[in-house]
Structure 1
Amino acid sequence: MGPDDPERRPGLRITWNPRPPVPLRLGNPSRRINIGLMGMAVVLSLFAGRLVQLQGLDSKVFEARAERLRVQEETLTARRGSITDVNGHELALTVEARAISADPTKVLPAKRDQVAGSLAALLGVDKGVIAAKLAQPKTRYTLLAGNVPTATAAKVLDLKIDGLAATPHYERLYPGGNLAGGVIGYVGDEGHGLVGFEQVYDKLLAGQDGKQTVETGGTGQRIPMTRSTKQEPVAGRGLRLTIDRDIQWAAQTAIAKQVQATGARSGSVIVMDVRTGQVVAMANAPEVDLNDWERTPSLGNRAVSEVFEPGSTNKVITAAAALEAGAVRPETVFEVADKYRCADRVLSDAHPHPPENLTFTGIIAESSNVGTIMAADRVGDQPLYNMLRAFGFGAKTGAGLYGEEAGLLPKRETWSGSQRCTIAFGQGVSVTALQMASVYQTIANGGVRVTPQIVAGTVDQHRRFVPAKPARQTRVITARTAKDITRMLEAAVSAEGSTGSLAAIKGYRVAGKTGTAMRYDESCRGYCGYTATFVGFTPADAPRLVALAVLQAPENGHFGGEIAAPVFKDVMTFALKSRKIPPTGTTAPSVRMSTDG
């Protein structure tokens, strides 16, 4: 502080006069009210505008959205039609079942083990699996078991466990397991047929699903007294096959046993009605288990999907061509050596032998390759080709089976010098088992081919049977030619025949032919292994049934007369008894097979 600072001046006194307080002025109440009213008016106008938008401008949009949330559309699954055998025995049927599900959030952790144990005992599911599914707190749905019988589902619901539900649906069952598995096929998880007749006739069997709409609340429960619409489902039609369940079983048993005994890769058996062309049995080994098809490898219906060279069973077509052309008669004699030069190849009979004087009947009965070629030389390539086509080679049979192949018949213009000879005795062409069975049905039926038929008809919702149209009939050879060939085939099975004696059935006249052919296999990119076949019919003088047995790549034996003929005998014997077909009581006429001795 300086000398002039008032605090340092003695006797100087300062007086402070404060300003008077400014009086507080209150706001204008009317202004505040007006401002508040204006604010409220703005807010109310916003609400009003939104209300106008909701109730007026966007009402239809929100109404539709609310309806979508409230109205639920449900699919009403149609019951799938059954597949039965010719006598109405069910081979595939649909039954009601339940899917058991749970809401894990409603099962208390303390009771989880007890609940899992109770459910496991009824559902036949491992307790640990159920416990793991119930220990999922982040989901409100878990499937515990599907395809549960309705009676079992009722017992599950009787446990009164919170969160459990039983949803109705249909389950496809196959009572026979693997019976006719390749023919019937199976239904996938989506409810549609995947292979076999389940796939071919899927639309007919499936019917038409219905639908219904209901209104539900936020919890998913239906709102009472609300509107609903319902379109009833249309059940699928049933399919009746010509298959006979009992004969089918016998055929499958016989071929499965022989496949195992011979170590064969596979085998097939076909039984047909000679007069109608109806397939009585179509068996394959191994066969798919229809009730466990996902775990059983399916090789399909090999009776129509697997092609092979027919071998000597094809010689009847060469015989038919020669007889129809008038080039030979059954008693025509050929001097047959055991070898024959054809273009650049030397072809041999199955066994070496000195030159023989064989009748044409003897050539077919003893299955001479050389003799068959000599007869074909008298016919010519074009007539032989035409006869192969007439018997159905190179085309599907018309049976309408899933996966059917047409086989292979090279165009005549492409035949090589040696191929014209090999085709005569069944090598260089490929067929299916059904095609070859159809050839012998034609001969047994007096030369009239009946298109193979395996669908007998359909059954509607009222169990009324609607038969299929009669199969097409086509004359291929004359009745006289068919009779001549039948006598040759009967000689092949007789005691004098050298190939088919193991197919003979006591008390019956049997006509048939063996076949043993080299088998083309992709695994070795050439011929490796054999195809063994026997096909025939009985009674020979009044044919009723034709049967074929074929084994692919057998390891223990490979001649058709040794391993396929016994299968034919077993199956045909059972079929004759099952169909109550008696012997004719006649005796086979004697035939001349050779002029030697």
Structure 2
Amino acid sequence: MATKRRSTSTGSDMPITIQPRRVLLLMVVLLALLGAVGARTIYLQSVKNRMLTKYAQGQQQNTQTLPAVRGDILDRTGQELAVGEEAVTFYGTPKLLGKNRAGTALQVSKILGLSRHEEDLLVDRLTNAEGGFVYVARQIPRDKAKELQDAKLPGIGWYDEERRMYPVGATAGQLIGTVDIDNKGLTGLELLYDRSLTGTPGKQVAVNDPAGVPIDVLQLRRERDGRDVQLTLDVKIQREAERVLQRTVRQFQARSATAIVMDPRTGEILAMAGVPRVNPAKWSSAGSLATRNTAITDTYEPGSTFKVVTVSAALEEGVTTPETEYWLKNELRFCKDDKTCLLHDSHDRPAGWFTTRDILVESSNIGTVTLAQRIRDAHLRRGEGGNAAIDSWIRRFGFGAPSGIDFPGESYGIMTPVKDWSDVSIGNIPIGQGIAVTPMQLIDAYAAIANDGVMVQPHLLKRIGDEPPAKYTSRRVISSKTAATMRSMFEAVVTDDHGTGKQAGIKGYSVAGKTGTANVAERGIYLKGQYIASFVGFVPARNPRLVTLVVVNRPQKGAYGGTVAAPAFEQITKFALEYLAIAPDGR
């Protein structure tokens, strides 16, 4: 029986069946492989190429910041008040310091003459340093830095830096202010005008060869140095004002003192002095009283110097004239309360007839409140707010608002809103009690009297860089007629036999002004035996060129403005008149 053999055929006539699912899978795999190859190609050609290029550039290029030089602060004559000085900053590279880091720190300390405390801090800083950088010493003067550079201590590097210097020391210290270690303004005018003073850093790229040696420099952005700031201040008048205040504080054993000298025609501040003083280079070690510009930050009860508002308002409103007479007793009951509504003058005197001029010259509290009552009553008769009228005059003279002077931290002063006035208010606010002002606000009010009734915005800035001098606003407070009358009456304060400001007189010049004596109040309570003595005036009286204010805080020997502050006014103003060559007017 024959065995059948299975026939095997490979001919094309035999159908082959391929499942669609397998075809799809194959296509997906192929596409994935192609995508991966494409992505890798793109990565190598673009992303990786950029990374490698950047890495190569990093090995060959070094980006450097070009510091901008900080601008100077100058007085009105060009005298340097704050300048930059070349200095050197030293740093350590921890991985290069070696094992004897403490020894390196001790060598640095010896060369730089560090204190024991500074030395201990440096030893600790270098011993425990990690990473790529640690400061060793900042802003060392070049002459002192050279010895440390020549020592070539392991791991110690350096770079040039600017150091802020104050050529006039503590003169105008509170005004100028200070900067931080990176030369950024922290306080005073250094802070206020920091943007103008700072400038803009530049940027350059140094190109190195494969060995790291610089072969070219590509400058991307040139640095723009800061601009100089020129002030209205005159350093010679400022220095004299501070000297006089120091003598006054010693003589009368006072806590502090403030003085301002101003040109009433322009609003320019020629001097703004405060004692105790501060050297900006030693700011961090000074007390808060020394670092505050008390002329604009601190408030006090102005006392009789505030009578300028009440008397001017009474004249302007026509409720009195300089020669109008008033019968004044030696006490005045101005409201119903038996304890708080009885007013006396500071000096005992008999009852008598007083003109408006007498009231101002002799600084009568009773007379001034009488004038305030006339203003109030005149408005009440017209169906208007009487107290509101007085409040309006106070604000018209600039109190209760900043003067607008270009200095950070100016106080508004302290004023009771008129809606909160009590029956007692009419008996204290018109004579400068129950209200607090800054020295700047007060001198601004008197500058308006000196300038024919026009108040010019006070300022310290003369110009920035090459810009034209800044322009400042002005506004009328009272009529020129009332201002002239007030100047005449203020002149009598100094020249009249009964005037309280005789010690403010300056030989050869007519002087007009007002004394002030006020109790010191803390937390609403008057401190027994603690006073603030002040004098504010202008010279020459009928064509004023200067206004000067002196405020002496808590003198222990003496209390009155006429005996404590007026002599200081005379000394400061006399110096300024002679220095500025202002001709005597023969009075």
TM-score range, shorter chain: 0.7 to 0.9
Partner residue, 1:363 = 359
Q: Structure 2: where are the runs of 5+ without partners?
A: 1-36, 377-386
Is 1:112–1:134's contact at 8 Å kept on the other side of the alignment? no
**In structure 2, do the counterparts of structure 1 residues 116 and 542 end up closer, same or farther at CA, with 3 Å as the change threshold?**
same
Secondary structure, counterpart of 2:360 in structure 1: helix
In 2: Cα distance, 1:319 partner to 1:507 partner: 28
In 1: Cα distance, 2:450 partner to 2:105 partner: 67
Q: CA deviation at 1:135?
A: 7.4
Partner residue, 2:468 = 466
Query: Aligned AA for 2:86?
Result: E
Partner residue, 2:495 = 494
Secondary structure, counterpart of 1:377 in structure 2: helix
In 1: Cα distance, 2:220 partner to 2:86 partner: 20
Find out whether 1:526 has 2:494 as its counterpart.
no
Find out whether 1:212 has 2:232 as its counterpart.
no
Partner residue, 1:12 = none
Pairs within 5 Å for 1:480-491:
480-491=481-492
Find out whether 1:173 has 2:165 as its counterpart.
yes
Find out whether 1:136 has 2:90 as its counterpart.
no
Is 2:361–2:499's contact at 8 Å kept on the other side of the alignment? yes
Is 2:90–2:136's contact at 8 Å kept on the other side of the alignment? yes
Q: CA deviation at 1:110?
A: 9.3
In 1: Cα distance, 2:525 partner to 2:56 partner: 68
Larger radius of gyration: 1
In 2: Cα distance, 1:226 partner to 1:273 partner: 56
Q: CA deviation at 1:91?
A: 0.6
Partner residue, 2:7 = none
Is 2:520–2:526's contact at 8 Å kept on the other side of the alignment? yes
Find out whether 1:374 has 2:370 as its counterpart.
yes
**In structure 2, do the counterparts of structure 1 residues 495 and 233 end up closer, same or farther at CA, with 3 Å as the change threshold?**
same
1:556-588: CA deviations, max 9, x gaps? Answer: 3222112111211111111111111121014xx
Partner residue, 1:396 = 402
Partner residue, 1:195 = 187
Is 1:186–1:198's contact at 8 Å kept on the other side of the alignment? yes
Q: CA deviation at 1:283?
A: 0.7
1:269 to 259, 275, 300: 259
Secondary structure, counterpart of 1:293 in structure 2: helix
In 1: Cα distance, 2:101 partner to 2:357 partner: 84
Q: CA deviation at 1:458?
A: 1.1
1:349 to 341, 345, 358: 345
Partner residue, 2:298 = 306
Partner residue, 1:508 = 509
1:225-244: CA deviations, max 9, x gaps? Answer: 47744312111111111000
Partner residue, 1:335 = 327
**In structure 2, do the counterparts of structure 1 residues 314 and 126 end up closer, same or farther at CA, with 3 Å as the change threshold?**
closer
1:503-531: CA deviations, max 9, x gaps? Answer: 11222211111111122224xx5222322
Partner residue, 2:572 = 571
Work out the number of aligned pairs and report it. Answer: 529
Q: CA deviation at 1:194?
A: 1.2
Secondary structure, counterpart of 1:467 in structure 2: coil
Q: CA deviation at 1:136?
A: 3.5
Is 2:105–2:123's contact at 8 Å kept on the other side of the alignment? no
**In structure 2, do the counterparts of structure 1 residues 480 and 137 end up closer, same or farther at CA, with 3 Å as the change threshold?**
closer
Is 2:457–2:474's contact at 8 Å kept on the other side of the alignment? yes
Is 1:133–1:142's contact at 8 Å kept on the other side of the alignment? no
In 2: Cα distance, 1:442 partner to 1:85 partner: 25
Secondary structure, counterpart of 2:244 in structure 1: helix
Partner residue, 2:414 = 408
Partner residue, 1:558 = 559
1:148 to 96, 117, 140: 140
In 2: Cα distance, 1:135 partner to 1:392 partner: 57
- CA root-mean-square deviation: 3.1
Is 1:365–1:491's contact at 8 Å kept on the other side of the alignment? yes
**In structure 2, do the counterparts of structure 1 residues 439 and 134 end up closer, same or farther at CA, with 3 Å as the change threshold?**
closer
1:474-522: CA deviations, max 9, x gaps? Answer: 2221222112111211111125134211211222211111111122224
In 2: Cα distance, 1:84 partner to 1:58 partner: 54
Q: Among the aligned pairs, what percent are the same residue?
A: 35
In 2: Cα distance, 1:181 partner to 1:54 partner: 62
Secondary structure, counterpart of 1:294 in structure 2: helix
Q: CA deviation at 1:93?
A: 0.9
TM-score normalised by L of structure 1: 0.81
Partner residue, 1:422 = 428
Is 2:101–2:126's contact at 8 Å kept on the other side of the alignment? no
1:88 to 78, 86, 93: 78
Query: Aligned AA for 2:561?
Result: G
Is 1:442–1:450's contact at 8 Å kept on the other side of the alignment? yes
Is 2:295–2:439's contact at 8 Å kept on the other side of the alignment? yes
Q: CA deviation at 1:301?
A: 1.1
Is 1:251–1:283's contact at 8 Å kept on the other side of the alignment? yes
**In structure 2, do the counterparts of structure 1 residues 491 and 59 end up closer, same or farther at CA, with 3 Å as the change threshold?**
same
**In structure 2, do the counterparts of structure 1 residues 53 and 282 end up closer, same or farther at CA, with 3 Å as the change threshold?**
same
1:44-94: CA deviations, max 9, x gaps? Answer: xxxx9xx98995686247426725853543322211111110001111111
